[in-house]
Structure 1
Amino acid sequence: MAENKDTKSYKRIMQLVENSMAIEAEAAKEAGAVGYMARALVQATMPHSKPTETSFVRENGAFSMAIMAHPKVGLPYGSVPRLLVAYLTTEAVRTKSREIELGDSLSAFMAELGEVPTGGRRGSITRVKEQTRRLFASNIACTYTADDMDAGVNLAVADSYELWWNPKNPEQGTVFSSFVKLGERFFEEVTQNPVPVDLRALQALKKSPMALDTYCWLTYRMSYLSKPTVIPWAALQMQFGAEFGRIQDFKKGFLKHLKAVLLM
């Protein structure tokens, strides 16, 4: 049976990705820009835009991830929590410690995320502080369900955290350093199964949470893929863009972001 146009296009894209990832991995290593991302949040992703509910579910085949929020805090969403998870995972792998220092000032921490401090209700200071709080107050439940197996694990992102930041004066240092103590099982997940990424690519793609998800997912898949694999658009939509009403809209958006990723 002849391959259809979508399948040929997919195989061509995957070959391009495989070649560019090999080059990129070596370049990132030489530049000291190798970072890591949590595998569970690559297989299934966080919300792209602000949710109205306090729980969020993503599915990837037999794997399912649910994020539960504190009802007075809300769910993390957008690019900032993705950059934050990459930062935390990279630091956990580097230091082998559950306790991660977040700097003496808000501006110092924001610099680690590649963010420039700007004030106001819609500024980066408000956004980073809010999304950090949302992520640290979240709990993640991962399940794997098949005909002959049912397994799961619950991951608390943070056991505890203290944020000694002054939004009105982000440059101001504090007597106490801000920190987060990662949940034990979350720490085990991110250190035992980290996904290597190029931190420069994350910075280049940070304006789009879907582009960040696509880059991390492709990096992860290409690390173990042994042959071309066709993935139905419906499955990709469940993993990356379940909030799209129509699969045609998701396909259009995904391909747009995929082109940006392939330029990395």
Structure 2
Amino acid sequence: MAEENSNVKRTHNARKGPLRLITDPTAAEKKVLAAGLEIFSNPPEGEDMAFTHAVLCQVGLPRSKLDAREFMRQSGDAWVNVQAGWLDEGRGPVQQCLPYGPMPRLALAWLSTYSVRHKTQEIPVGDSAAEFLRLMGMDSQGARYKTLRQQMHALAACRLQLGFKGRTFNGQPVEQFDAWISNRDERQRPLWPGLMVLSDGYHKSLQESAVPLDNRALHILKGSALGLDIYAWLAHRLHRIDGRPVILHWKPLREQFGQEYTGKEADKDFKKKFLPQLRKVLEVYPKAKVRQVNGGLMLMASPPPIPYKV
């Protein structure tokens, strides 16, 4: 095992620049390195392909819990507005929070993937919460059920607006959802809805604007909303660079990914959180060409995570 880990580290270090270099990796970092080597060595096939909406690759959902009932984020020509909603949980309307963290990102990616693959609005979400967690690449620890219930309800209830260059999607991504009613024993099969129905508008918008991602990378990054956001952003951005590299400074990057950082040291504080996640992302997106430069990042034209169809 020691020799295998050493080979993984040597292989990666031999093909990567300073941003990607991981010395004396921890157990968690070894998993990232191994996954990156797998992705580098074996092109995606079958279930490896996932999809998410193009606008959500540029501006993501909240990454942490907010007391507000509305969330707005803009990056360039793209913007997202999320409004918390209400859901009937069996005894009338219950106010839901804004969806936040990795869970709704993974759920939306899984729902979007099924919708794009099968060209349908009706998404079977498994026979149980445990099965849906497995489909998203998560284990079925007890705490996961509470988070899953909260975030699925928040996602199903929210109103979502996506805008880009004069076109706006208005509505709820989820048209129909049978609430996970009981909170006493979330593992019981009858409590799981089994089916979600995407709204007409979101389904149509998704078919026109889906961005392919590597599901293996999503599974490795599943513990970090920021990591998932960076990966989706690079997957959408790098292959669209035409010609000269693009330089992005820390301030616009913070405005896109870290609006919660404020004060005199805002850019510095954001950078400390951003760079470790970027390093993980670059491990599982081996063909991404990103370099840290003075004052920011240099993005260079790179192949997408999922190769173009020949």
Which TM-score tier does this pair reach, normalised by the shorter chain?
0.7 to 0.9
Which residue of the other structure, out of 52, 55, 61, is the alignment partner of 2:76?
Answer: 61
CA distance in 2, matches of 1:117, 1:78: 17
Q: Which residue of 1 aligns with 2:126?
A: 103
Task: Report the Cα offset of residue 175 of structure 1.
Answer: 9.5
Greater Rg over alpha carbons, structure = 2
Q: Which residue of 2 aligns with 1:129?
A: 149
CA-based RMSD: 2.6
**Unaligned ranges ≥5, structure 2:** 1-16, 21-35, 87-94, 285-310
Listed one character per residue, the Cα deviations across residues 229-253 of structure 1 (whole Å, up to 9, x for unaligned) are 1123222112111011211111221
* 1:240 correspondence with 2:263: no
Which residue of the other structure, out of 153, 164, 176, is the alignment partner of 2:169?
Answer: 153
Q: Provide closer, same or farther for how the CA distance between residues 225 and 197 of structure 1 changes in structure 2, counting only shifts above 3 A.
A: same
CA distance in 1, matches of 2:146, 2:191: 22
Q: Which residue of 1 aligns with 2:104?
A: 81
Q: Which has the higher contact order (CA 8 A, sep 6+)?
A: 1
- Return the TM-score normalized by structure 2: 0.70
**Unaligned ranges ≥5, structure 1:** 1-10, 15-20
Task: Report the Cα offset of residue 168 of structure 1.
Answer: 5.0
Q: Provide closer, same or farther for how the CA distance between residues 144 and 224 of structure 1 changes in structure 2, counting only shifts above 3 A.
A: closer
CA distance in 2, matches of 1:230, 1:184: 38
CA distance in 2, matches of 1:258, 1:135: 26
Question: Matched residue of 1:230: which SS?
Answer: strand
Q: Provide closer, same or farther for how the CA distance between residues 250 and 92 of structure 1 changes in structure 2, counting only shifts above 3 A.
A: same
Is the CA contact 2:55–2:163 (under 8 Å) kept in the aligned structure 1? no
Q: Which residue of 2 aligns with 1:253?
A: 273
CA distance in 2, matches of 1:262, 1:175: 39
CA distance in 1, matches of 2:111, 2:40: 20
Q: Tell which deviates more after alignment, 209-218 or 135-144.
A: 135-144
* Aligned AA (2:151): Q
How many residue pairs are counted as aligned between the two chains?
Answer: 240
Q: 1:1-264 residue pairs with structure 2 within 5 A?
A: 24=39, 27-30=42-45, 32-70=47-85, 72-119=95-142, 123-144=143-164, 150-163=166-179, 168-169=184-185, 172-174=188-190, 178-227=194-243, 228-245=245-262, 246-264=266-284
CA distance in 1, matches of 2:237, 2:19: 13
Listed one character per residue, the Cα deviations across residues 171-227 of structure 1 (whole Å, up to 9, x for unaligned) are 543398521110111111222211111111111111111011001110111232223
Identity of aligned residues (%): 29
- Return the TM-score normalized by structure 1: 0.82
